[in-house]
Amino acid sequence: MKTYLDCIPCFFRQALTAARISTDDETIQRHILNSVSTMIPDLALDVIPPEIAQKVYRIVYEITGNNDPYLEAKKLANMSAMSLYARMKDIVDSSNETLETACKLAIAGNAIDLGAHAEFGSISSIIEDSVGYQLDQEHYRKFKESVGQSSLILYLADNAGEIVFDRILIEQLLQIKKSKIVFVVREKPIINDATLDDALQVGLNKVATIISNGSDAPATILSQCSPEMLSYYRAADLIISKGQGNYESLSGRPENIFFLFKVKCPVIARDSGYDIDSSVLISSTTLKNFKIENRFFTRSQAGGIT
């Protein structure tokens, strides 16, 4: 997905938010914004937004000397989500379609995002909001079929806290087929994206093989990924891509990718064809065809694609 002009104010907002979390010194905060502003004249809109965001956060980290300003927020999100783990398991186990319910929860967990949103609400309310949402059954059936046919599943993680919801889904994937599941996190801290420490904190090593992607971008930028990550990427029968950042970096790819995310901003809504606040589960093939054939239509105008 290319970068839109609408993304530029968001980069400044994210820089200011991260700066304020890192330091109370307004002089330093201003210095950060000034440094980010020097990027704008040469900004190439044909690159994906996470590549620019990566540069923005590197500026924040370099100037403040704090390379993980969201560390405490991540720990809190992980602990809060883990405190509800048993409850989420009960919700899934008592449902008529356990995999679908687990998908709903995994998508709902994507609301825990400190990049697209400066703060997130109650994790408990996220669970409540997800239960009544209806996934598109055609897309869900394709996803379920793909799970049953896959021996190697690559699961691209997004945010801390959210990864507890991912664990719930992974446990249901293993109920369908004892596939090898490789869970991919960021190499270094970036916003509140999950790293190896986060994945271990919530016990994902009990249900999946955990690797880092070799990059500190808030997305999966294949040109920056490690050889290990790329070998799994090429070998995977199914790739589960969580979050907007991974959507932005992989939405044009030909592999068997299913995107699971919440639509949080007008740019993603415009690019994907889904309304803001939509919960999305869609394959890369279906999404590509939708964008080609219905690029000037909204989701409702295109006949309810979700």
Q: What is the CATH number of the domain that holds 243?
A: 3.40.50.10880
Q: Are residues 120 and 199 in the same domain?
A: yes
Task: Count how many domains the chain has.
Answer: 2
Return mean pLDDT, the chain. 88
Query: Which of 64, 94, 113 is the last residue in one of the domains?
Result: 64
φ and ψ at residue 271, rounded to 5 degrees: -70, -35
How many beta carbons lie within 10 A of that of residue 291, not counting itself?
Answer: 15
Residue 300 lies in a domain: no
Q: At residue 75, does pLDDT exceed 50? A: yes
Q: Are residues 14 and 129 in the same domain?
A: no
Reference 191, options 9, 2, 12, 15; nearest CA is: 15
Worst-scoring range by mean pLDDT, 38-47, 188-197, 208-217, 251-260? 38-47
Torsion sign across C-alpha atoms 24, 25, 29, 35: negative
Q: Are residues 58 and 82 in the same domain?
A: no
The whole-number pLDDT of residue 124 equals 66
Strands 257-262 and 279-283, by their bridges, are: antiparallel
Q: 120: pLDDT confidence band, cut at 50, 70 and 90? A: very low
Higher pLDDT, 80 or 125: 80
Residue 73 lies in a domain: no
Q: How far is CA 58 from CA 85, 149, 223, in A?
A: 34, 40, 18
Query: Which of 16, 36, 64 is the last residue in one of the domains?
Result: 64
Q: What is the CATH number of the domain that holds 30?
A: 1.10.8
Q: Are residues 104 and 237 in the same domain?
A: yes
Arithmetic mean of pLDDT, 130-137: 77
The whole-number pLDDT of residue 293 equals 41
Arithmetic mean of pLDDT, 265-278: 87
The whole-number pLDDT of residue 137 equals 87
Residue 224 lies in a domain: yes
Q: Are residues 59 and 191 in the same domain?
A: no
What lies within 8 Å, CB to CB, of 140 at 6+ separation is: 100, 103, 281
Q: What is the pLDDT of residues 229-255, one digit of tens each?
A: 999 999 999 999 999 999 999 998 999
How many beta carbons lie within 10 A of that of residue 82, not counting itself?
Answer: 17
State how far the Cα of 152 lies from the Cα of 289, in Å rounded to an integer: 26
The whole-number pLDDT of residue 306 equals 25
Question: What range defines the domain where residue 274 resides?
Answer: 78-293
Residue 140 lies in a domain: yes
Q: Are residues 51 and 84 in the same domain?
A: no
Q: Are residues 28 and 84 in the same domain?
A: no
Torsion sign across C-alpha atoms 135, 132, 162, 101: negative
The whole-number pLDDT of residue 133 equals 77
The whole-number pLDDT of residue 176 equals 95
Residue 180 lies in a domain: yes
Q: At residue 288, does pLDDT exceed 60? A: no
Residue 218 lies in a domain: yes
The whole-number pLDDT of residue 214 equals 97
Q: What is the pLDDT of residues 151-171, one digit of tens each?
A: 999 999 999 999 999 999 999
Q: Are residues 45 and 177 in the same domain?
A: no
Residue 258 near residue 240 (C-beta atoms within 8 A): yes
Reference 81, options 196, 183, 167; nearest CA is: 167
Q: 277: pLDDT confidence band, cut at 50, 70 and 90? A: confident
What percent of the chain clears pLDDT 90, i.e. is strictly above it?
Answer: 69
Higher pLDDT, 15 or 120: 15
Arithmetic mean of pLDDT, 266-276: 87
Q: Are residues 43 and 139 in the same domain?
A: no
Residue 58 lies in a domain: yes
Residue 111 near residue 103 (C-beta atoms within 8 A): no
How many beta carbons lie within 10 A of that of residue 152, not counting itself?
Answer: 14
Q: Are residues 26 and 104 in the same domain?
A: no
Arithmetic mean of pLDDT, 61-76: 94
Q: What is the pLDDT of residues 48-63, one digit of tens each?
A: 999 999 999 999 999 9
pTM of structure: 0.89
Where are the alpha helices (H) located in the chain, listed in sequence order? 7-22, 26-37, 49-64, 71-82, 85-93, 98-109, 123-131, 137-148, 162-176, 196-201, 227-235, 243-250, 266-272, 284-293
Q: 119: pLDDT confidence band, cut at 50, 70 and 90? A: very low
Q: Are residues 176 and 246 in the same domain?
A: yes
Residue 179 lies in a domain: yes
Q: In this structure, which amino acid lies at residue 105?
A: L
Query: Which of 64, 90, 110 is the last residue in one of the domains?
Result: 64
Q: 112: pLDDT confidence band, cut at 50, 70 and 90? A: confident
Q: Are residues 53 and 103 in the same domain?
A: no
